[in-house]
């Protein structure tokens, strides 16, 4: 019930295109859904996060879409750039479980110039 | 604002040897986490501290791993004796007690040969 399923495992997008990464969860107690970006040799960096009281959150070129009834959320990267090439992890946590994050398996994004 | 500091960044040891990793969280962050990230996978929580106390250590292999957080600030994670399957990145993270946002350090890379 703690699992977060992420797809696709890898993604290749042309510069300027839209990158879309999807996640699904089972635990209805989850109340915080962040996305992390990780470059090789670095720790995960918080990119954007959403709580279930809103269906969408946008920060610059990054948007989270959240569907509470379907228990799904996704990351959209608009106008993808080569500098966005990294591994992206979705995650979820519940205040009732001490806010500890459960991570998805990651999506390796490559943006071709 | 200084981020989460970790040391050493890289360590190579032989199996059955011991190793210790150090973490200094973001100033004022009461909650500290140690995650293990195996190559190609998402981070997995090992232990969570709230100030000095352990909140969750259910996934910590206690026969070989130990962690402590003295005075509610710095933390150390020790592995003794190390096994080949312990080769991973050990990520320290911290957060404010009431918030969902968790911030990671750059990690300590362990290779067990």
Whichever domain contains B76, its CATH number is 2.60.40.10
pLDDT-derived band at B98, boundaries 50, 70, 90: low
Answer yes or no: do B42 and A93 touch at CB < 8 A: no
DSSP letter at B9? S
pLDDT of residue B21: 98
- Please name the residue that has the structure tokens 């100030």: B51
Residues B104, B111: Cα–Cα separation, whole Å: 20
CA–CA min distance A81, chain B (Å): 23
Domain that holds residue B15: 5-112
Instruction: Note the pLDDT tens digit of each residue in B15-30.
Output: 999 999 999 999 999 9
pLDDT of residue B99: 61
* pLDDT beyond 80 at A1: no
Answer yes or no: do B107 and A42 touch at CB < 8 A: yes
DSSP code string of A43-106: --EEEEEE-TT-SEEEETTEEEEEETTTTEEEEEESS--GGG-EEEEEEEB-GGGTT--EE---
Chain B residue with Cα closest to A4? B42
Return mean pLDDT, chain A: 93
Within 8 A of B102 by CB-CB distance, chain A residues are 34, 46, 93, 99, 101
For the residues B81-89, what does the mean pLDDT come to? Answer: 97
Instruction: Note the pLDDT tens digit of each residue in B29-79.
Output: 999 999 999 988 899 999 999 988 999 999 999 999 999 998 889 999 999
Q: Is B27 left (phi over 0), alpha (psi -120 to 50) or beta?
A: beta
* Contact B101/A at CB under 8 A: yes
Answer yes or no: do B102 and A98 touch at CB < 8 A: no
CA–CA min distance B105, chain A (Å): 6
Count of domains observed in chain B: 1
**Residue from the list A36, A43, A95 with its beta carbon closest to the beta carbon of B106:** A43
* pLDDT beyond 70 at B104: yes
> Are the CB atoms for A92 and A25 separated by under 8 Å?
yes
Q: What is the CATH number of domain A4-112?
A: 2.60.40.10
Share of chain A above pLDDT 70, in %: 98
pLDDT of residue A99: 76
Chain B residue with Cα closest to A93? B100
B4-18, B59-73, B97-111: which range is least confident on average? B97-111
pLDDT of residue A98: 72
Instruction: Note the pLDDT tens digit of each residue in A55-94.
Output: 999 999 999 999 999 999 999 999 999 999 999 999 998 8
DSSP letter at B47? E
CA–CA min distance B43, chain A (Å): 6
Optimal mutation site among B6, B42, B92, interface A, most CBs of chain A within 10 A: B42
Per-domain boundaries in chain A: 4-112
* 3-state secondary structure (DSSP) of residue B85: helix
């Amino acid at each position: 019930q703690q699992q977060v399923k992420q797809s696709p495992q890898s993604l290749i997008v042309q510069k300027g295109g839209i990158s879309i990464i999807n996640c699904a969860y089972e635990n209805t107690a989850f109340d915080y859904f962040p996305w992390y970006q990780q470059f090789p040799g670095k720790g995960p960096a918080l990119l954007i996060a959403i709580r279930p009281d809103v269906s969408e959150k946008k920060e610059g070129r990054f948007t989270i879409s959240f569907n509470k009834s379907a228990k799904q959320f996704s990351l959209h990267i608009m106008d993808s750039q080569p500098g966005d090439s990294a591994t992206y992890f979705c995650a979820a946590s519940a205040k009732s479980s001490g806010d500890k994050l459960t991570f998805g398996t990651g999506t390796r994004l490559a943006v071709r110039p | 604002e200084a981020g989460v500091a970790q040391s050493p960044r890289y360590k190579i040891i032989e199996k059955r040897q011991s190793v210790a990793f150090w973490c200094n969280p973001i100033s004022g962050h009461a909650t500290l986490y140690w995650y293990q990230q195996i190559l190609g996978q998402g981070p997995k929580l090992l232990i969570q501290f709230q100030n000095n106390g352990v909140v969750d250590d259910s996934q910590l292999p206690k026969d070989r791993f130990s962690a402590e957080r003295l005075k509610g600030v710095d933390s150390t994670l020790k592995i003794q004796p190390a096994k080949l399957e312990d080769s991973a990145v050990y990520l320290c993270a911290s957060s404010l007690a009431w918030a969902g946002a968790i911030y990671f350090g750059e990690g300590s890379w362990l290779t067990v040969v």
